[in-house]
Amino acid sequence: MNEVNYIRQTLKMYGFSFCEDDIPYIHSILFTIIQEQPSLDRFPLPYHEFPFLIVDKELLK
C-alpha cells in the first residue's frame, strides 16, 4: 500500500486530477516500466537496429 499512497500523494503534489479507480492502473503501468528498465538499459536505442526483411524467392521471379 505504500506505493499506492506514494502515487496518490505525487499526483496531488503536481496538481493532477485523478479518479481513485485509476490508481491501480497507474500502479500497474509504473510497475511494468520498472520491470522493463534493465532491458532498456541494455538496448537503449531500439530504433537504431535494422529490421530484417525476408523475401520469398517466388516474388523475385
Q: Tell me, yes or no, whether 53 lies in a domain.
A: no
For residue 39, the model assigns a pLDDT of: 76
Does residue 10 lie in a domain region? yes
Instruction: Evaluate whether residue 38 is within a structural domain.
Output: yes
Residue 31 covered by a domain = yes
Residue 35 covered by a domain: yes
Asked whether the beta carbons of 30 and 7 are under 8 A apart, the reply is: yes
pLDDT digits (tens, 9 = 90+) for 1-58: 688 999 999 999 999 988 899 899 999 988 988 888 887 777 666 666 666 666 666 7
**pTM, rounded to two decimals:** 0.58
| Number of domains the chain contains | 1
Start-to-end CA span in the chain (Å): 63
Please check whether residue 51 lies inside any domain of the structure. no
**Is pLDDT above 70 for 59?**
no
- The parent domain of residue 18 ranges over 2-42
